[in-house]
């Protein structure tokens, strides 16, 4: 079990010592860095291909249909067919498009999401770059993708693309604020921005200590990723295909890749900061396997959202962000600050919670505070919630007094 856990580390070390036999140490380090970058990026790309199949299968099943099943057993070779299609489709550049920006945009969209995985701890001691400002680095990368989207929208010389790009970026900007504020509360609890420290501080997963923040984070993450129910920027009936209207073939494939890999990256982030990262839960499996299991569980929740919820309008989604999520997450930071003062998890850089009893007390206190906080918020926002529920009621055919036949149709 120990050997399996350290499998990748052992392989890496063996490779390093093999290279050191005939190369100077600097060259070995540099090659090691690039090799880890290439391997992790390729892994992300493979996850992307698998994810396209997973999403279509799961959403299909949720919509009472089978999903891809022609190409290979259970349609598992579908992503390969899609890849071949992407490679061989004609790359039509719209006339009058700004050549350089048009071609650069898909590449600049993929680069930041690949850089995401540099700081994620995939297993025990398995992190490519243990950055001491890891959390902030991840947020900065999400900001960088917005620039690529604006470039794509403008360079296409297409009204719909421009509009779609601006809407997508406005949405991503808005939802970054609650995302960052929740991460702030978690950083406060763990006393560090370093992702490995965040995993180390989770004797109990932070999802249990801050359930309300966990739920809000999942929602804000879905919005940040432009996924349903927040996928107005790419909804077919709304703005054609949004900012990637004028992109065909592989360039469109790159935008898809950027989006799905960002989803996987966000799932990895959720796993690391909320679900305890690679820490095993009861069953002893290798740490990296636990990490993948948890990350895919989070991805499943994102896919589940897609198959279940209708889309939010742009004004609804912006109001939800600025009038609900931002004040709530800001208050959450303050509340967490108060609780951390009296029940600290980390003090002076060391974890101060002792043993199972200490963790039990900590869990109960934080969980109770979070639940009370959530109830107070629900009470404060009761009138808008009732209004929204009433609007959904009014939309139902029975409520509008329509005849039985129309209702059945």
Partner 1 sequence: MTAEQFVFVVAALITLGSAVGMVTSRSVFVGALWMIAVFGGVAALFILVGAGFLGIVQILIYIGAIAVLILFAIMLTPRVMGDPNAPRYNRQWPLVAVMTTGLAAVLTVLVLRTDWPLAQEGTPVITGFAVELGKGFMTTYILPFEVASVLLLVALIGAIVIAREE
Partner 2 sequence: MKPYAVIGAFFVVGLILPLVTVIGATLLSPRKPNPIKGDIYECGLKTVGETWVQFKIQYYIYALIFVIFDIEVVFLYPWAVAYNRLELFALVEMLIFAGILLAGLLYAWRKGALSWV
Of the candidates 145, 152, 144, 115, the one whose C-alpha atom is nearest the C-alpha of residue 40 is: 115
Binding residues for partner 1 (CB under 8 A):
26, 98, 101, 131-133, 136-137, 139-140, 142-144, 146-147, 150-151, 154, 162, 166, 169, 173, 176, 193
- Residue from 61, 159, 382, 390 binding partner 2 (CB under 8 A): 159
- Sorted by sequence, the CB contacts under 8 Å of residue 322 that are 6+ apart come out as 174
Beta pairing partners, 346: 351
* Least Cβ distance, residue 321 to partner 2 (angstroms): 9
Residue 147 binds partner 2 (CB under 8 A): no
**From the list partner 1, partner 2, none, which binds 78 (C-beta under 5 to 8 Å, kind-based)?**
none
Footprint (CB under 8 A) of partner 2, residues 236-265? 240, 245-246, 249-251, 253-254, 257
Residue closer to partner 1 (CB basis): 76 or 131: 131
Determine the size of the site formed for partner 2 (CB under 8 A): 91
Residue 16 binds partner 2 (CB under 8 A): no
d(CA 165, CA 253): 17
- Residue from 47, 54, 180, 269 binding partner 2 (CB under 8 A): 180
Segment interacting with partner 2, rule: CB under 8 A, options 17-25, 57-65, 102-110, 295-303: 102-110
The residue behind tokens 């059945």 is 408
Segment interacting with partner 2, rule: CB under 8 A, options 151-159, 265-273, 362-370, 388-396: 151-159
Footprint (CB under 8 A) of partner 2, residues 188-207? 188, 191-193
Residue 341 binds partner 2 (CB under 8 A): yes
Residue closer to partner 1 (CB basis): 173 or 293: 173
What are the angstrom distances between the C-alpha of 222 and each of 63, 250, 267?
Answer: 20, 25, 10
- Residue from 21, 24, 90, 405 binding partner 2 (CB under 8 A): 90
Residue closer to partner 2 (CB basis): 163 or 299: 163
- Given a contact cutoff of 8 angstroms between Cβ atoms, the answer to whether 121 and 195 are in contact is yes
Handedness of CA 111, 113, 119, 121 (dihedral sign): negative
Footprint (CB under 8 A) of partner 2, residues 287-316? 314-315
- CA angle 20/25/26 to nearest 5° reads 140
What are the angstrom distances between the C-alpha of 83 and each of 50, 56, 250, 359, 394?
Answer: 12, 15, 9, 48, 45
Q: Which residues of 27-45 are buried (b: 16+ CB within 10 A; e: fewer)?
A: ebeeeeeeebbeebbeebb
* Least Cβ distance, residue 405 to partner 2 (angstroms): 34
- Sorted by sequence, the CB contacts under 8 Å of residue 392 that are 6+ apart come out as none
d(CA 318, CA 223): 10
Of the candidates 175, 220, 215, 223, the one whose C-alpha atom is nearest the C-alpha of residue 377 is: 215
Structure tokens, 196:
């490995």
**From the list partner 1, partner 2, none, which binds 86 (C-beta under 5 to 8 Å, kind-based)?**
partner 2
- Residue from 78, 158, 202, 370 binding partner 2 (CB under 8 A): 158
* Least Cβ distance, residue 401 to partner 1 (angstroms): 42
* Least Cβ distance, residue 225 to partner 2 (angstroms): 17
Cis peptide before 229 (omega within 30 of 0): yes
Residue 81 binds partner 2 (CB under 8 A): no
d(CA 318, CA 312): 10
Residue closer to partner 2 (CB basis): 59 or 128: 128
**From the list partner 2, partner 1, none, which binds 73 (C-beta under 5 to 8 Å, kind-based)?**
none
**From the list partner 1, partner 2, none, which binds 157 (C-beta under 5 to 8 Å, kind-based)?**
partner 2
């Amino acid at each position: 079990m120990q050997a399996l856990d350290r499998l990748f580390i052992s392989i890496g070390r063996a490779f390093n010592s093999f290279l050191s036999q005939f190369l100077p140490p600097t060259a070995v380090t540099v090659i090691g860095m690039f090799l880890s970058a290439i391997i992790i990026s390729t892994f992300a790309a493979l996850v992307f291909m698998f994810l396209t199949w997973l999403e279509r299968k799961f959403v299909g099943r949720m919509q009472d249909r089978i999903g891809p099943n022609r190409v290979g057993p259970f349609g598992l070779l579908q992503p390969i067919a899609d890849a071949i299609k992407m490679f061989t489709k004609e790359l039509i550049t719209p006339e009058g498009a700004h050549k350089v920006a048009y071609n650069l945009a898909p590449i600049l969209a993929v680069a930041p999401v690949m850089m995401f995985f540099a700081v994620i701890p995939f297993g025990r001691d398995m992190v490519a770059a243990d950055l001491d400002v890891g959390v902030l680095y991840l947020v900065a990368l999400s900001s960088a993708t917005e620039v690529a989207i604006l470039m794509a929208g403008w360079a296409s010389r297409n009204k719909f693309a421009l509009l779609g790009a601006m809407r997508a970026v406005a949405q991503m900007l808005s939802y970054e604020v609650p995302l960052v504020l929740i991460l702030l509360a978690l950083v406060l609890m763990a006393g560090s921005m370093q992702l490995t420290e965040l995993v180390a501080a989770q004797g109990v997963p932070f999802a249990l200590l801050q359930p309300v923040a966990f739920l809000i984070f999942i929602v804000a993450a879905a919005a940040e990723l432009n996924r349903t129910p927040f996928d107005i920027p790419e909804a077919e009936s709304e703005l054609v295909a949004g900012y990637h209207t004028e992109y065909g073939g592989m360039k469109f494939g790159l935008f898809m890749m950027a989006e799905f890999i960002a989803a996987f990256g966000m799932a990895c982030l959720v796993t690391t900061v909320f679900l305890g990262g690679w820490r095993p839960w009861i069953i002893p499996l290798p740490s990296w396997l636990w990490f993948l299991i948890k990350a895919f569980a989070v991805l499943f929740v994102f896919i589940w959202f897609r198959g279940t919820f209708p889309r939010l309008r742009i004004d609804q989604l912006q109001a939800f962000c600025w009038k609900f999520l931002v004040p709530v997450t800001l208050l959450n930071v303050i509340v967490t600050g108060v609780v951390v003062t009296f029940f600290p998890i980390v003090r002076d850089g060391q974890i101060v919670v002792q043993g199972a009893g200490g963790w039990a007390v900590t869990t109960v206190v934080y969980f109770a505070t979070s639940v009370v906080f959530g109830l107070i918020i629900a009470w404060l926002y009761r009138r808008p919630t009732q209004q929204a529920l009433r609007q959904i009621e009014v939309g139902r055919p029975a409520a509008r007094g329509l005849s039985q036949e129309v209702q059945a149709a």
